[in-house]
Amino acid sequence: MAVMESPAKDARAREFLSVPRKMLINGKWVDSISGKTFAVYNPATGEELAQVAEGDKADIDLAVKAARKAFDSGPWSKTPPNVRGKLLWKLSELIEKHARSFAELETLDNGKALTISGAVDVPGAVEMFQYMAGWATKIEGRTLNLSSPGFHAYTRREPVGVVGQIIPWNFPLLMAAWKLAPALAVGCTVVLKPAEQTPLTALLLGELIQEAGFPDGVVNIVTGFGETAGAALSGHDDVDKVAFTGSTEVGKIILRAASGNLKKVSLELGGKSPNVIFADADIPAAIAGSAMGIFFNQGQVCCAGSRLYVEKKVFDTVVGALSDAAKDIKLAPGMDPSCQMGPLVSQEQLDRVTRMVEGGKKAGAKATVGGEPCGGEGYFYKPTILIDTKPDMEVVKDEIFGPVLTAIPFTDPNDIAVEANNTIYGLAAGVWTRDVSKAHQMAAKIKAGTVWVNCYNVFDSSMPFGGYKQSGIGREMGPDVLELYTETKSVCIGGM
């Protein structure tokens, strides 16, 4: 076999890609029990990037056993909160130290621009571990004010136990951080299953978790496929909770799998988020923000502002300017410094986006820009804006998860919240207006976990994120996420 030049520039990333990657179980890097591996690909070229261990049910069993032991009787069960906080902070510093390696691996694995991996994904993960490090020492119960005489009662907040975490490919490192940080802050142990398309940065993170000094078995990382490893984890009787981010379809499968032992479930699922531009908005800001709202990360964002509603008076101006902006976006491999938009994650995703847009065009929608794959090497799809859509078209109703915007005019500002809410999803929404009352009225009317006013895609570790309706169950980030990983116990003392 010819030795290919590594696509990575950073020395650690190159070294990381040079050998098949093992899984982290009970503090050891191990092959899968079956001995099987699978390939991960560079979406910019379609070439194989690395081989990764293919874990399945047997490996999940070992990982859960390790996590159980670490939770019940290992050193983690006796690790005080301030030490948990220190370990999380140490991990954040190690990620910062290896920021370049993470950014390159993320770009090569997922396709996104290196400028984005370096400016969004890696610092976002660092910030999440730091934010949650602070919470480790602040998990408290309450003293209760009972009406029953003769008793004294209080609550304890305890870690829920062994947690299974299943994450997607669109923000691989960041999703690992969103999941791991709160679970570890409160004292849970974890079995993490990264997406099959993008397991690399989670595995590098595993190396740093060990370097930081987390005890063996506290974090286990099993790479493999959803239908095998993922299903075994979500259905496991010795797992106390499962946290999932991904498609609504798989979210429902997870919920059913979890019913066997009634493990706790939190789900962060798909969206078809409305983004509403009123005529009284700062129009240039609305155009720039809405372009970013749909095209960021190639549109592979669960909260992408994919349904744009524009007040009729400014519709042509807005759609014209957005189409020009879309035309100007430089598509290139993520490692290319000039890249503004990389390829989609996989051939499968490229096919899905292509099929959905074709379907939309056949049903009567018109592309003002894009509307087709780029062709040639890699999984590139042109930034696309569709007009002349109808509310019942698939492109308006279903999550495309690509750089595809449907732009729809409206005339009555009083009715637009109803149309914005006409979806099975409820993850996020955008509102652009200079009218403060209108902004607050819209924020109250829209059924979504996040409403951005005069901005889009703003995330902060302190700001809860999650979905109404079929966009999910539970809120990640902020103090709210701590609820997902703790149980409340009432202790009642008699004879007082």
Among the listed residues 231, 276, 420, 448, the single contact to ligand NAP using CB under 6 A: 231
The distance between the two most distant Cα atoms of the chain, rounded to a whole number of Å, is 81
Q: Label residue 242 left, alpha or beta by phi (over 0 means left) and psi (-120 to 50 means alpha).
A: beta
Q: How far is the CB of 124 from ligand NAP (least distance, A)?
A: 14
Q: Which is nearer to ligand NAP, 349 or 368 (CB)?
A: 349
The two three-digit tokens of residue 85, written as one number: 């906080």
Q: Which is nearer to ligand NAP, 187 or 293 (CB)?
A: 293
Q: How far apart are CA 90 and CA 38, in angstroms?
A: 32
C-alpha closest to that of 91 among 227, 175, 210: 210
Q: Which stretch binds ligand NAP (CB under 6 A): 26-34, 122-130, 224-232, 452-460?
A: 224-232
Beta-carbon contacts of residue 403 (< 8 Å; ≥ 6 apart)? 294, 295, 298, 299, 326, 341, 353, 370, 381, 382, 383, 384
Q: Which is nearer to ligand NAP, 315 or 401 (CB)?
A: 401
Q: How far is the CB of 193 from ligand NAP (least distance, A)?
A: 6
Q: Catalogue the active-site residues.
A: 268, 302
Q: How far apart are CA 477 and CA 480, in angstroms?
A: 6
Task: Please count the residues of this chain forming the interface with ligand NAP, following the rule CB under 6 A.
Answer: 27
Binding mask 288-307 for ligand NAP (x = CB under 6 A): --------------x-----
Counting beta carbons within 10 angstroms of the beta carbon of residue 476, is it exposed (0 to 12), middle (13 to 18) or buried (19 or more)? buried
- Is residue 170 at the binding interface for ligand NAP, with CB under 6 A as the rule? yes
**The pairing of beta strand 465-466 with beta strand 475-476:** antiparallel
Among the listed residues 122, 136, 195, 417, the single contact to ligand NAP using CB under 6 A: 195
For residues 232-271, which are near ligand NAP according to CB under 6 A? 234, 245-247, 250, 253-254, 269-270
Q: Which stretch binds ligand NAP (CB under 6 A): 58-66, 75-83, 164-172, 431-439?
A: 164-172
Q: Which is nearer to ligand NAP, 287 or 353 (CB)?
A: 353
Q: Which is nearer to ligand NAP, 113 or 175 (CB)?
A: 175
Q: How far is residue 433 from each of residues 164, 453, 454, measured CA to CA in Å?
A: 42, 8, 7
Q: How far is the CB of 195 from ligand NAP (least distance, A)?
A: 4
Q: How far is the CB of 178 from ligand NAP (least distance, A)?
A: 11
124 close to 471: Cβ distance less than 8 angstroms: no
Q: Which stretch binds ligand NAP (CB under 6 A): 67-75, 166-174, 289-297, 448-456?
A: 166-174
Among the listed residues 48, 72, 227, 358, the single contact to ligand NAP using CB under 6 A: 227
Binding mask 385-424 for ligand NAP (x = CB under 6 A): --------------x-x-----------------------
Instruction: Name the closest residue to ligand NAP (Cβ).
Output: 226
Q: How far is the CB of 232 from ligand NAP (least distance, A)?
A: 8
Q: How far apart are CA 116 and CA 340, in angstroms?
A: 9
73 phi and psi angles, rounded to 5 deg: -135, -5
Q: How far apart are CA 140 and CA 152, in angstroms?
A: 17
24 phi and psi angles, rounded to 5 deg: -100, 110
Q: Which is nearer to ligand NAP, 202 or 325 (CB)?
A: 202
DSSP H helical ranges for 73-137: 81-97, 99-110, 114-116, 122-135
Q: How far is the CB of 330 from ligand NAP (least distance, A)?
A: 24
Q: How far apart are CA 158 and CA 77, in angstroms?
A: 11
Q: Which is nearer to ligand NAP, 32 or 130 (CB)?
A: 32
Coil, helix or strand at residue 478:
coil
127 phi and psi angles, rounded to 5 deg: -65, -35
Q: Which is nearer to ligand NAP, 29 or 225 (CB)?
A: 225
Binding mask 348-387 for ligand NAP (x = CB under 6 A): -x--x-----------------------------------
Among the listed residues 226, 274, 299, 360, the single contact to ligand NAP using CB under 6 A: 226
Among the listed residues 196, 216, 311, 483, the single contact to ligand NAP using CB under 6 A: 196
Mind giving me the DSSP string for 127-145? HHHHHHHHHGGG----B--
Strand partners, 366: 387
Q: How far is the CB of 247 from ligand NAP (least distance, A)?
A: 3
Interface with ligand NAP by CB under 6 A: which residues? 166-170, 193, 195-196, 225-227, 230-231, 234, 245-247, 250, 253-254, 269-270, 302, 349, 352, 399, 401
